[in-house]
A and B are shown apart, each in its own frame.
Chain A
């Protein structure tokens, strides 16, 4: 099994279609890894295995309810799976909790991004339930992977995000230690 891309790695380049609305003609946009970097923002991308399944909508709705918490923390929120943008749009139309979604649903139809991230499940080639936190320089700062049937906690993501963002604000410029003293 491929190893999940982890802390310190650069998040892969991508240019993918995403569903951002159900308004005719305005459903789809292209999003890239440069978008959040240009705005100097952090990015949280959370993956789920398949649209139209059970655990996922509750999680997605929880992220949606916490949307403002991400905005306030200058963080772009993106949901993703290997489904196509049309499946995303159909699911969004179909499910009460998803109709008013405030963040994009990225379609990794070719599975190239999930593969590069090392989160592609071997049999069906669907994404594991993985959450990434990426800093404004495009570096992965946190990865959390759950097995297929376990939902994740949005509160925990925000807690970690707060912790990571606070790092940046420390005024003391830590410098790598001087020469060690010889005993």
Chain B
């Protein structure tokens, strides 16, 4: 076993774990990592795996969180593979649809609330948003998980107010700090992965 073979093994292991085939990948990052016999390939699989097969979030939840970040990052290849994983773990069309809408809604709110937070003119905080956000009312995924998803996307998009308020909201609905931290770490990992595999 030499280092080149070992790197190739790591590469095949990673893409098989994600559930994509070599032919589908347009990005060249993985090729560069293979040529550079990079340890990062194994680390990526390890990170993804330990956060997806975790005690604080279920495999289905992990798949749905990963899906939301893939949607956020407009990564159609990862959207496809995490959708597949979610379905394998028992997610139905309604739940999957809700992940898409939640992600998009966060795209809206992360801009709006961040604007209000950034602006020195506090008038905007009293002006109503007048945007329809019906899906927040009774999410099919349950309030706690919906808030958790919102927190994950907001963390990736970097809205301070959104992160703070959704974090509190998850805990109010019973989510533990450990669970929250796992979800955010997973989101971070998928964000990182999204740069490599598309």
Q: Which residues of A contact B (CB under 8 A)?
A: 35, 38-40, 71-74
Contacts and interface: CB of A to CB of B under 8 A. Distances in A.
Interface string B118-137: 00000000000000000000
A38 B39 contact: no
Nearest to B7: A39
14 contacts: A38-B2, A38-B3, A39-B2, A39-B3, A39-B6, A40-B3, A40-B39, A71-B13, A71-B42, A72-B42, A72-B46, A74-B39, A74-B42, A74-B43
A73 B44 CA distance: 10
A71 B49 CA distance: 12
A73 B46 CA distance: 7
Given A38-B3, A39-B1, A72 B49 contact: yes
Nearest to B1: A39
Given A38-B2, A39-B3, 4 more contacts: A39-B6, A73-B46, A74-B42, A74-B43
Nearest to B17: A72
A105 to B, nearest CB: 17
Interface in B90-113: none
Interface string B39-62: 100110110011000000000000
A38 to B, nearest CB: 7
Contacts of B49: 72
Nearest to B3: A39
Contact of A72 (B2, B3, B6, B45): B45
A74 B6 CA distance: 10
A71 B10 CA distance: 9
A166 B75 CA distance: 30
- The 10 A-B pairs of least Cβ separation, nearest first, read A72-B46, A74-B42, A39-B6, A39-B3, A72-B45, A72-B49, A73-B46, A74-B39, A72-B42, A40-B39
Contacts of B6: 39
Contacts of A71: 13, 42
Contacts of B46: 72-73
A72 B6 CA distance: 12
A132 B85 CA distance: 37
Contacts of A72: 42, 45-46, 49-50
Contacts of A38: 2-3
A39 B39 CA distance: 10
A103 to B, nearest CB: 12
A34 to B, nearest CB: 12
A14 to B, nearest CB: 18
A39 B7 CA distance: 10
Most chain B CB within a 10 A radius of its CB, from A38, A40, A72: A72
A168 B77 CA distance: 33
